[in-house]
Structure 1
Amino acid sequence: MAWRLRLAPEKTNIDFFNHQWLTFGGSMILMVLAFVAWGVMGLNFGIDFKGGTTLRTESPNVVDVGAYRAAIEALPVGDVAITEVFDPNFSADQHVAMIRVSSDDQGEAVSEDLLAQVRAALVKTDPDLKVVAEETVGPKVSSELIWTSVLAVGITSLAIMAYISLRFEWQMAFGGVLALLHDVFITIGIFAFFQIKFDLTIIAALLTILGYSINDTVVVFDRLRENLQKYKTMPLRDVMNLSVNETLSRTLMTSITTLIAVGSLLVFGGDVIRGFSFAIFMGVLLGTYSSVFVAKNLVLFIGLNRSDKPKKTDKSEFANIDA
């Protein structure tokens, strides 16, 4: 018989509720800390969500952030943020910086004349410097993007809840979506705490997290539904434990292979997609954790109606649709 790698024993009997006030309670504490970081520190909005212009510069000389800042702040601009970009793929003489010049106090976009002065000031500081990319977003467009992004995440969550309600039970839908929001909010809290740039690519990552995380949760819920029919007298807590144990190997295999792929992007993908890759990486970790320790706990707290219901012969019943 050929040897096969197993990330978990063929049969496990782990009590995932044994330390629920540590695992589930820890998740609730992380949620609170995420909201505190979000409210107190705020998000480091990228150019997509904050009107202004971002310049990407390259030079064979070492980036002198202090000199760059002094040259730009001498001009009539708003906030200035300068970040040196590090990437293992850069050559030894390739020094890259991201320079964001925000909109002025009147809420207008940075004018082209002022941008020309910024470019001239940078070149004066380093004659070998080149501006290789430039991106401008007006404040009106950026504020609309914020609300559109919130709406996208909200509608996606409601759509997932509606599907799970039709596919399973409303308690599972409610618990599953709360577990999804747990993943999203903690990820946003991490971005707020470490002040990682938050732009439209991160919104795409959050939507990806919603899709990935609910996939894991649905697998557990599907096995739970089968076991509820099979073990009608077994306590709900024990049925949930059994369901998670039976799907544990699949959950670990899916998560670890996904983390390997996303980890490669995080290390070798470059600075342009590093924020996106980091958000996906954290989302996969949190999504796996919430599928095992959060979603089922919420369903257990809400409770399930395990009374026998009369079977319907109508083949159009949503609950009988295979997905």
Structure 2
Amino acid sequence: MGKLSQIGNDLYTGRRSVDFVGRRWLWYSISLLIIVVALSGLVFKGLNLGIEFKGGTTYTVSVSKATQELADELRESVGSTGVVAAETPTVMTAGGKSIVIETGAITENSASDQKVREAITSTAGVADSKISQTVVGASWGERVAKKAATGLIVFLILVIFFIWGYFREWKMAVSGVVALVHDVVITVGVYALSGFEVTPATVTGFLTILGFSLYDTVVVFDKVRENTKNLRASKRTYAQQANLALNQTLVRSVNTSIVALLPVLAILYVSAVQLGTSTLKDIALALFVGMAAGTYSSIFIATPLLVHLKSGEKDVIDAERRARARMKKADRYADVPAFTEDMPVAEDPEELRGARLASDADDLDDLDDLDRDDGVGTSPRGRPQSRTDAMGRGRTAPTEHRPVRESGASGRRQPTRQPRSKRGK
């Protein structure tokens, strides 16, 4: 635990850093690949809509003891009745004494209904009076889908205005909404690929993950705003400050996600593997995939996209120019090119030296101009107060008052230091 806490402290102070912003094109490529796979599953396989959305018939069977073995036997017997609407029934246990069988739309008291009932009574060993039938129309599911879509659109609009009003930055709002859409698309694609049934519980899970993803993104954006509120006085660029904010909140984001995902994973395992209950596993899968995608998008998508959108602003560009100028002034060999075989050879070393000195002078002039804009580090005439270019071993070059010329005393005999006993001899 000591090492983990030390890593977290190093990430917060900046002594150790993960370059999330600088590798944003890598994260964009990974997200694009995941979205393409999700959309391909949605297009070619489609969603497995539940009975509430496509309509159908539900048979609830009261038994002495509901077991998964009995549910499997009922699924096989009902599917082999020859009724088209019951070829692929959904059978699940509901509590300890009930089994629910969902099929397509079957008219009550029809020949198909009688075949299904006979298969249930013969397999489960119960009387016909122990079977209750419920017909669900597709219109109810359509209303649920429309209400869910309306709620999603209203939620996204409110998110845009909330982030815009809180941070006073529309680009943060756009980045946050893109991250939300990213999470929803991935979750829907996973549902299509896994074949899990989409029920009203699934819709509830979708709306829940939107809030979780937004919460994590807002926390990171708040740290970005704190780090970049006085960018002109900072020695770092906007991208560096945003990347520092991501590293500072990384441990919190990972810990929060793990704490939230572990119980959801436990519910998903118990409901899908042991119990087989549809409602729990549907909402658990939506929550698990959505939370994992929300954590990923808040770190790898939202903030890098924000930096990308703000890269053309004047304050951000000026901060990058100041950082480059300070780097060149601190290290006079920062721009020395690496040797390559096709590097051109200068014919006149003095000409090359003069061009390099002129380039250094231009860099210093750019730094002076930027510092003059900030109103710091300049004399009343606008020139630097002192020059501290390194020469030799730690020596400081004095300011030149006039050009160096040959001294008139160069031809005279210069005095020498002698002991007092020999002076005047």
Q: Counterpart in 1 of 2:250?
A: 248
Q: Does 1:301 align with 2:297?
A: no
Deviation for aligned residue 1:253:
1.6
Q: Give 1:78's aligned residue.
A: 85
Structure 2: any 5+ residue segments left out of the alignment?
12-16, 317-425
Aligned to 1:190: 190
1:35-114 to structure 2, matched below 5 A, reads 35-57=39-61, 62=70, 63-64=72-73, 65-71=75-81, 73-74=82-83, 78=85, 80-83=87-90, 85=92, 98-103=100-105, 110-114=106-110
**Cα shift at 1:229:** 1.0
Give the TM-score of the pair, scaled to structure 2. Answer: 0.62
Q: Please list, as runs of the form range in 1=range in 2, the aligned pairs for 1:236-275 lying within 5 A after superposition.
A: 236-268=238-270, 270=275, 271=277, 272-275=279-282
Residues 86 and 190 of structure 1: CA distance in aligned 2, closer, same or farther (over 3 Å) = farther
Alignment pair present for 1:277 and 2:284: yes
1:206 is aligned to 206
Number of the residue aligned with 1:150 = 149
Could you tell me how far 1:135 is from its partner in structure 2? 5.2
Q: CA deviation at 1:18?
A: 4.5
Please tell me whether Structure 1 or Structure 2 has the larger radius of gyration of its CA atoms.
2
What is the aligned counterpart of 2:296 among 278, 284, 289?
289
Alignment-mate amino acid for residue 185 of structure 1: V
CA contact (8 A) 2:56 2:135 kept: yes
Residue type of the alignment partner of 1:154? I
Q: Deviations over 1:37-75 (max 9, x none)?
A: 11221100011211112335565664233322112x34x
Matched letter for residue 38 of structure 1:
L
Task: Extract unaligned runs of 5+ from structure 1.
Answer: 104-109, 309-323
Q: Deviations over 1:278-301 (max 9, x none)?
A: 110111111111000011122122
Q: SS at the partner of 1:10?
A: helix
Structure 1 residues 5 and 48: alpha-carbon distance in aligned structure 2, compared to 1, 3 A threshold: farther
Distance apart, 1:126 and its partner CA: 3.7
SS at match of 2:51: coil
In the alignment, the residues of structure 2 paired with residue 179 and residue 79 of structure 1 have an alpha-carbon distance, to the nearest angstrom, of 41
Listed one character per residue, the Cα deviations across residues 301-322 of structure 1 (whole Å, up to 9, x for unaligned) are 22265749xxxxxxxxxxxxxx
Of 12-21 and 253-262, more deviation after overlay is shown by 12-21
Structure 2: which amino acid aligns with 1:227?
A: N
Aligned-residue offset at 1:165: 0.9
Q: Is the 8 A contact 1:51 1:142 kept in 2?
A: yes
Equivalent-residue separation in structure 2 for 1:79 and 1:182 (angstroms)? 37
- Higher mean displacement: 294-303 or 196-205: 294-303
**Given the two structures, how large is their TM-score scaled by the length of structure 1?**
0.80
Higher relative contact order (Cα pairs below 8 Å, separated by 6+ residues) = 1
Tell me if the contact between 1:6 and 1:249 (Cα under 8 Å) persists in the aligned partners.
Answer: no
2:51 maps to a residue whose letter is: I
Q: Distance in 2 between matches of 1:54 and 1:185?
A: 31
Report if aligned partners of 2:172, 2:221 keep a CA contact under 8 Å in 1: yes
Give the Å deviation of 1:9: 2.0
Q: 1:119 to 1:290 in 2, by over 3 A?
A: same
Structure with higher helix content: 2
Q: For 1:9 and 1:220, locate their aligned partners in 2 and report how far apart those are by CA, in whole Å.
A: 16
| CA deviations over 1:101-129 (Å, ceiling 9, x no partner) | 223xxxxxx43324852333321344259
Residue 228 of structure 2 corresponds to residue 228 of structure 1: yes
Q: Look up the match of 1:180.
A: 180
> Residues 50 and 14 from structure 1, CA distance in 2 versus in 1: closer, same or farther, beyond 3 angstroms?
same
Q: Partners in 1 of 2:7 and 2:118 — Cα distance?
A: 60
Equivalent residue for 2:125?
127
**Identity between Structure 1 and Structure 2 (%):** 29
Alpha-carbon offset, residue 212 of structure 1: 0.5
Count residues with an aligned counterpart: 293
Q: Which moved more, 1:15-24 or 1:290-299?
A: 15-24
Distance 2:267 2:6 in 1: 23
Distance across 1 between alignment mates of 2:6 and 2:86: 50
